[in-house]
Structure 1
């Protein structure tokens, strides 16, 4: 069923005028924050989280703004944008570091951002920091899942090429942005094979792209969504790839949340730090495995992708949490 699937989902849920649009990417983040709030509220009501229910809305809001959004964007700029485009490009437009609405977020940057903000919050309010991070570690996979589903809807962060025909293979037209050869090949085939009547109707709505125009990639992606003949032609030149976004949603989202939530409910007296440690280890393992199916979006370091390399540090951090947990042997009830 998936072998011939050509990605044609629209990243825009609702267009409001010419400049304002509601995108699935933004909806995904909103759903993650809302789900996190209600899950932590439930845990707080069961005395399994150190922040009172009436203070959770403010905590989640500031964690989202300063931790997830700002941290995730800065992480993307530092770990991916600058290595790909150069420091000079960033210095020419430093405000790119805060333009979260343009897309481009790094989960590792979000983890760092949340860590720094919660350290500040815990110190200011006299709350055990590890107990705070444990709860966030439990609910974070929900947000990661929604984020990966948004990546899939956007057709971005697609997987590596499948060299042998496979039922899991999908084709992602967004690849035309990056691959000039495929872009020119697809456009040439459209002009050669698409019926003249269809091209005339399209030309009546807006000018057809020039064969050498880089904008032709976006034009073809949009036509894949609304013109079946062009969808088939573009699909014929695209290679099949792994839907790595779905793999990441499974590993970083569903599996990780199920494990952490199950342990939290079944073992309410689990030591503080256990959940943060498990998150670090399982996230790192899942990310390292799935990166083998994902097309690298940055230069490879030491035969590792950028995501794999950064995930290695999570093993050290997770070990630190486990040492803290079994050294202090304190539960969330003990620090509440």
Structure 2
């Protein structure tokens, strides 16, 4: 089918002098729902931080997402933007790297933990359970924007996205809707796995196990989807010469790190005292 027949548009609300884009709403929804879910997790015995810490963490995490995501995107995918530094501020045009956002959030967690003398790895476990919300909405926004589409294909659910060719906007060839693949694997599936581990097992008492599962799950999902996703235009030659796309190379450390954290998590298990003042949990 043609993308135009879906009736989707990047702008959710257009007031003439002001526009609200689905891309922005996706980030807001991911942060707000992630914060709401984090509070639900912290209500369980043995939480690594109190409600006041969670409220502060939202500020640190938001800065980490925006700064880390944008800086990493420019360095890894669009270094040419550095020739026009002001273009780096045009967040409304898209261009964010999840890997960079993840690093930014990690730095924010470490800073908060050092300031409040908390266990940063246990905080990371709880935050990891909330991240799939943002991934899900973010990939849906990519689809609505008609960006980051997949490789050419002849599957029956392929979509023809608007593409520029020789300066002209045309209806492109049938492609995989890889944005939806990512929303399902990185968002819904990973969310379900972490939900089961948190609520149905004792994983939250083994520091690093949940965040390790997130890293491994995201890494495998992203590595797999990259086989169906069209490499960024400026990195097509890079992917061809190296045999893997930039996205796949960036997931390798995540997969290795995830396996390590899961394998060593049981050795970090310890008596957990509830930061919020509730009962002790052995």
TM-score (norm 1): 0.75
Quick one: distance in 1 between partners of 2:89 and 2:265? Answer: 36
2:161 corresponding residue in structure 1: 172
Residue 326 (str. 1) matches residue 266 (str. 2): yes
Residue 16 (str. 1) matches residue 15 (str. 2): yes
Quick one: distance in 2 between partners of 1:244 and 1:48? Answer: 39
Residues 158/167 of structure 1: CA separation in 2 closer, same or farther (3 Å cut): same
For residue 30 of structure 1, report the CA deviation from its aligned partner: 0.3
In structure 2, list runs of 5 or more residues that go unmatched. 276-282
Quick one: distance in 2 between partners of 1:107 and 1:116? Answer: 14
Quick one: distance in 1 between partners of 2:174 and 2:93? Answer: 27
1:292 corresponding residue in structure 2: 227
Instruction: Indicate the SS of the match to 2:255.
Output: helix
Taking the TM superposition and a 5 Å limit, the aligned residue runs for 1:1-336 are 3=1, 6=4, 8-18=7-17, 20-47=18-45, 49-65=47-63, 67-82=64-79, 85=80, 90=82, 92-162=83-153, 164=154, 166-173=155-162, 175-176=163-164, 179-180=165-166, 214=167, 216-217=168-169, 235=171, 238-268=172-202, 270-297=205-232, 298=235, 299-300=238-239, 302-330=242-270, 333-334=272-273, 336=275
Quick one: distance in 1 between partners of 2:218 and 2:273? Answer: 28
Contact 2:215–2:255 (8 Å) recurs in 1: yes
Contact 2:99–2:250 (8 Å) recurs in 1: yes
TM-score (norm 2): 0.88
Residues 150/4 of structure 1: CA separation in 2 closer, same or farther (3 Å cut): closer
Aligned length: 268
1:203 corresponding residue in structure 2: none
In structure 1, list runs of 5 or more residues that go unmatched. 181-213, 218-233
For residue 59 of structure 1, report the CA deviation from its aligned partner: 1.4
Q: Which has the higher helix share?
A: 1
2:278 corresponding residue in structure 1: none
Larger radius of gyration: 1
| Superposed CA RMSD | 1.9
Contact 2:57–2:109 (8 Å) recurs in 1: no
Quick one: distance in 2 between partners of 1:335 and 1:318? Answer: 26
Contact 1:70–1:98 (8 Å) recurs in 2: no
Instruction: Indicate the SS of the match to 1:172.
Output: strand
For residue 335 of structure 1, report the CA deviation from its aligned partner: 6.7
Contact 1:70–1:100 (8 Å) recurs in 2: no
Instruction: Indicate the SS of the match to 2:78.
Output: helix
For residue 334 of structure 1, report the CA deviation from its aligned partner: 4.0
For residue 168 of structure 1, report the CA deviation from its aligned partner: 1.2
